[in-house]
Amino acid sequence: MIFDEPLSAVQQRNLGQFWNIPVYDRTELILEIFGRRAQSHEGKLQVELARLEHLSARLVRGWTHLERQRGGIGVRGGPGEKQIELDRRQLGGRVKRLRSQLERVRGQRRNRRRAQERNAAFRVSLVGYTNAGKSTLFNALTGAGAFAADQLFATLDTLTRRMRLPDGNEIVLSDTVGFVRDLPHQLVAAFRATLEETAEADLLLHVVDASASDRRDQMEQVDRVLSEIGAAEVPAILVMNKADLAQGVDERVGLDPYGRIERVSVSAVTGEGLDTLKRAIGQRFTEARQASRTNRAGTDFQQASTVVEVGDSQSPGDRRAAVLSPEADGQAFSAPGLSG
C-alpha cells in the first residue's frame, strides 16, 4: 500500500499491522525510485545517505521481544542499551561516514568548477520537473547519447558536455537531476553537492513539459527548489519542450524588456526551435563575456587611479622611496635616508 502523503512512523507501523501488508509513504517511494536509478558511486552514496537519515528519524520498534539488553559480566547483569538505541547509534555512525565521503566528492566538484572558471567556461545547466525531457534535449544539443527515457528521475548523476554555438564559441552544458512536488528534504540535503552545480551556473535552461496539463504548478515547484538551493537569482531561459505534443501553448518565442529571448518553444525530438534556443544562449554568452571585459577594465582603471593618487600626494623624493619600498596596509612609506 502506497500513500501519496507523508506518514508518521507510528501510522505506518499500525496500518501495516492492521492490513498485514507493507505500507509506504510518498517519501519512501521517491527514495526507492532514486535507489533504482542511481548508477554512479556518488549517486549511490547520496541515495543511501538520504535513506538512512529518513530511517533514523522513524525508528519504531516493530517487535515485542528484546525489551532491553542485559549487560554485565555474569549471567544476570544490569540493564544495558535498548535495541532502538543500538540501531540509532549504528545508523549515526554510518551517516557520519557517508557525509565524510560526500564532502570529499563536494571538494572534487569545487576543484572542477575552479578549473572551468580558470578556462573562462560559460556554464549552462538544464533544470526542470522530472520527465520534462531534459536528457533528450541535452542529447539534441550536444550529441552526447546520454540515457533518456519516459520515466521519473531517469537522470540522477550530473552529466556535462561541451556544446558549440552557431558563432563557433563553446559553452559547458550540464544535465541535472529532475525535481518533483514535495521533494523530500533528505534528498535535497543529500544531493546538495550535485545541486550546487545548478547554483554555480552562469545560465539556467528551465525545461518545462509544454504538453503537461499541470505545467504551471510544475514550474512553481521547480522555482521553489531553486530558491531553496540558492539558485533563484541565476539568469534563466524558459524552454517549453515537447512543443510537437502541446496544445494551447503561447507564442513560440518570448522577449524580455531588453529584447533578449527569455522563452522559447522547442521539440527535442523533432528539432523544432533548437536553432532559436542556441541563438538565445549565444545572446547570454555574449553579454556575459562583454560584462566580464568591462569588469576587468574597471578594476584595472581603479588600480591605476589609486597609484596615480598616491604618487600625486607625495613629493618627488617620497615617490622615489615608494618605488623602492614595500607596501604596508596598502599605503606606500618612505625608506629611511632616501627622502629628499
> For residue 11, what are the β-bridge partners?
none
Q: What is the pLDDT of residue 327?
A: 46
C-alpha cell at 273: 526551435
The CA distance from 321 to 329, in Å, is 17
**Cα 281 to Cα 101, 163, 204, 286, distances in angstroms:** 35, 11, 10, 9
- C-alpha distance from residue 211 to each of 152, 236, 244, 264 (Å): 16, 21, 8, 14
**Burial state string for 16-36 with b = 16 or more CB within 10 A and e = fewer than 16:** eeeeeeebebbbbebbebbee
Q: Where are the alpha helices (DSSP H) in the chain?
A: 9-19, 26-37, 41-56, 83-118, 134-142, 185-190, 192-199, 215-228, 274-312, 316-324
Q: Note the pLDDT of residue 62.
A: 46
* 152/129 Cα distance (integer angstroms): 9
Provide the whole-model pTM: 0.67
Which stretches of the chain score pLDDT less than 50?
61-70, 75, 77-78, 80, 319-340
Find, among 146, 145, 207, the residue nearest to 179 by Cα: 207
> From CA 164, how far away is CA 250, in angstroms rounded?
28
- 3-class state of residue 190 by DSSP: helix
Q: So what's the pLDDT on residue 307? A: 55
Q: Which residues contact 173 (CB under 8 A, 6 or more apart)?
A: 124, 125, 126, 138, 141, 142, 160, 161, 162, 163
Give the pLDDT score at 235: 94
Residue pair 16/36 in contact (Cβ under 8 Å)? The answer is no
- DSSP, res 66: -
Look-up: residue for cell 612609506?
Answer: 333
CA count, 13 A, side-chain hemisphere, 253: 13
pLDDT at residue 117, as a whole number: 63
Q: pLDDT tens digits for 30-61?
A: 888 877 777 777 778 888 888 888 887 776 54
How high is the pLDDT of residue 259? 85
**Residue 190 pLDDT:** 65
Q: Quick one: pLDDT at residue 65?
A: 44
User: Contact at 8 Å (CB) between 218 and 212?
Assistant: yes
Buried-exposed string 95-126: b where 16+ CB fall within 10 A, e elsewhere: beebeeebeebeeebeeebeebeeeebbbbbb
What pLDDT score was predicted for residue 192? 67
Short-list 178, 177, 189, 193, CA closest to 49: 189
Neighbour tally for 132: CB within 10 Å: 29
